[in-house]
């Protein structure tokens, strides 16, 4: 159950958002303090499963072969085998387009070395190297979990953003998502809550409301 103050901030952001002709996302802006972000170990780089989902379509591509590929076809947006991976390695434009269009990649562990060789220079800098799938992992469960996942990544910037829902979700659902994100940051940052300066929530085109 999210903090009442978080839910009030979300409600305010939703209520004060002007009507638009498109479905707006709800985003969180997090401002860090007292961290040397030139030091990579201090940077935020987390995948977080949101309890209420992202409220948006999440495009997932799987690199797999055999039975795993067959099972992935029912749940993933696209499934690519080893030959198609090699073809991407010869076509930078196609590889870059795939990287930009895709939110998350998943790959069988046996293909990770080839992915590093063929796509490492494209996926690595974008923070989109695939999540490895071990032989014991269920591809269907993994894809479904990642559809509700967001990536928190600060890089060397003090302020970074993440999606926490959509305008047609309830304030309570969005607040629960924010609560999970803040709890993770409090646990992972060197000084916990003291490393967070301010947090704001807003719809795509609406005013920002302070959460913390």
Residue 112 binned pLDDT confidence (cut-offs 50, 70, 90) = very high
Is residue 149 within 8 A of residue 164, CB to CB? The reply is: no
Alpha-carbon distance of 150 to 55, in angstroms, equals 11
Q: Where in the chain is the domain with CATH 3.40.50.790?
A: 60-146
What is the reported pLDDT for 205? Answer: 87
CATH topology of domain 4-55+149-210: Ribulose 1,5 Bisphosphate Carboxylase/Oxygenase (3.30.190)
Residue 2 binned pLDDT confidence (cut-offs 50, 70, 90) = low
CA neighbor of 185 nearest in space, from 40, 51, 46: 46
Half-sphere exposure of 68 toward its Cβ, with a 13 Å CA cutoff?
A: 25
Handedness of CA 86, 87, 92, 97 (dihedral sign): negative
Q: CB within 8 A of 68, min separation 6: which ones? A: 62, 108, 133, 139
Q: What is the pLDDT of residues 3-46, one digit of tens each?
A: 789 999 999 999 998 777 778 899 999 999 999 999 999 999 99
Percent of the chain at pLDDT above 90?
86
Is residue 7 within 8 A of residue 171, CB to CB? The reply is: yes
What is the reported pLDDT for 19? Answer: 79
Q: Which residues pair with 203 in a beta bridge?
A: 26
Residue 115, pLDDT > 60, answer: yes
Q: Looking at the whole model, is its pTM more than 0.75?
A: yes
- Listed range (15-24, 132-141, 149-158) with the worst mean pLDDT: 15-24
The beta-strand segments (E) located in the chain are 25-32, 45-49, 60-63, 78-80, 104-108, 131-133, 149-153, 159-166, 196-203, 209-210
Architecture of domain 60-146: 3-Layer(aba) Sandwich (3.40)
Q: Where in the chain is the domain with CATH 3.30.190.20?
A: 4-55+149-210
Alpha-carbon distance of 169 to 193, in angstroms, equals 27
Residue 93, pLDDT > 60, answer: yes
3-state secondary structure of 150: strand
Average pLDDT of the chain is 93
Q: What is the pLDDT averaged over residues 166-179?
A: 95
What is the reported pLDDT for 24? Answer: 86
Residue 73, pLDDT > 90, answer: yes
The burial of 21, by beta-carbon neighbours within 10 Å (0-12 exposed, 13-18 middle, 19 or more buried), is given as exposed
Instruction: Name the strand (E) or helix (H) holding 145.
Output: helix 139-146
Residue 1, pLDDT > 80, answer: no
Q: CB within 8 A of 97, min separation 6: which ones? A: none
**Tokens found for residue 164:** 């926490």
Residue 96 binned pLDDT confidence (cut-offs 50, 70, 90) = very high
């Amino acid at each position: 159950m999210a903090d009442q103050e978080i839910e009030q901030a979300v409600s305010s952001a939703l209520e004060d958002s002007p009507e638009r002709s498109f479905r707006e996302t709800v985003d969180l802006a997090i401002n860090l303090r007292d961290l040397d972000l030139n030091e990579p170990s201090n940077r935020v780089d987390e995948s977080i499963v949101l309890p209420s989902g992202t409220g948006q379509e999440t495009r997932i591509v799987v690199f797999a072969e055999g039975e795993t590929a067959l099972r992935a076809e029912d749940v993933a947006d696209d499934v690519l085998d080893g030959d198609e991976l090699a073809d991407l390695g010869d076509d930078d434009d196609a590889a870059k387009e795939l990287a930009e269009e895709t939110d998350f990649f998943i790959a069988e562990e046996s293909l990770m070395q080839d992915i590093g060789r063929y796509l490492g220079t494209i996926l690595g800098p974008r923070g989109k190297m695939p999540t490895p799938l071990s032989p014991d992992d269920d591809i269907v469960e993994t894809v479904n979990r990642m559809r509700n996942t967001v990536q928190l990544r600060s890089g060397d910037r003090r302020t970074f953003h993440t999606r926490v829902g959509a305008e047609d979700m309830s304030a309570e659902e969005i607040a629960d998502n924010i609560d999970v994100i803040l709890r993770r940051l409090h646990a992972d940052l060197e000084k916990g809550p003291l490393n967070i300066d301010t947090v704001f929530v807003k719809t795509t085109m609406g005013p920002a409301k302070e959460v913390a």
